[in-house]
Homo-oligomer: A and B are copies of this chain.
């Protein structure tokens, strides 16, 4: 059941858009049903053509409404299979020093990790700039896919300087990378930088997540520094935009 968001009371109701366009009316009706719990997560919506005959609207109009709901994260599509009600998003707190495994588990969900590739390769100039090494320096590059309840939610590309973690790639990377860096290589992260913004999922990421290229996503870029200010780990995470929510709880002074 999608948890009722206690913060919302500006919710659009059926009455508040009496004369809106058709696609918004349909959006509202579906959204209403989802929020009421009549359509639990994972439920498949009627097919577009079915909605077409039910509502009497053209298919383009139907798809407009569905795309809208997709942008809001209420539903998602499975290619040539149908539209499904989204599971609740996990809450991510960038101020907490907790890895994916930790916070997903804490929220009663089941995390999963899959290493897609790992290699040591020369750094492109953009990467070299970030690590402040010479272009062409060999770096560890890891691609992983991470799941929540068996649904792929993000694909990430991690880069680590071999100078700090030489034989990193010989370890199993299907768990917590942070864990390995700390316990095996004695790396002490003292600073963490996180940057988030909406993006379109590029083909590479979209394929790995099993969504169509161009789907809206959220790019989370994390950079970790050690005590000497060196970049320890650089991580680009491409999230399904409906799978993550940001929450910060901050004590001042």
Contacts and interface: CB of A to CB of B under 8 A. Distances in A.
Interface in A235-253: 236, 238, 241-242, 245-253
Interface stretch (A2-10, A32-40, A43-51, A99-107): A2-10
Contacts of A242: 198
Nearest to A193: B249
A81 interface: no
A203 B16 contact: yes
A195 B16 contact: no
Interface string A123-159: 0101101100000000000000000000000000100
A60 interface: yes
Given A10-B157, A129-B6, A193 B248 contact: yes
A121 interface: no
Interface string A201-217: 01111000000011010
A110 to B, nearest CB: 22
A180 interface: no
Contacts of A10: 157, 202, 204-205, 236, 238
11 contacts: A7-B195, A9-B124, A10-B204, A12-B200, A68-B200, A191-B249, A191-B251, A193-B248, A193-B249, A198-B242, A246-B246
Interface of A: 6-12, 16-17, 20, 24, 27, 60, 67-68, 71-73, 89, 94-95, 97, 124, 126-127, 129-130, 157, 189-200, 202-205, 213-214, 216, 221, 236, 238, 241-242, 245-253
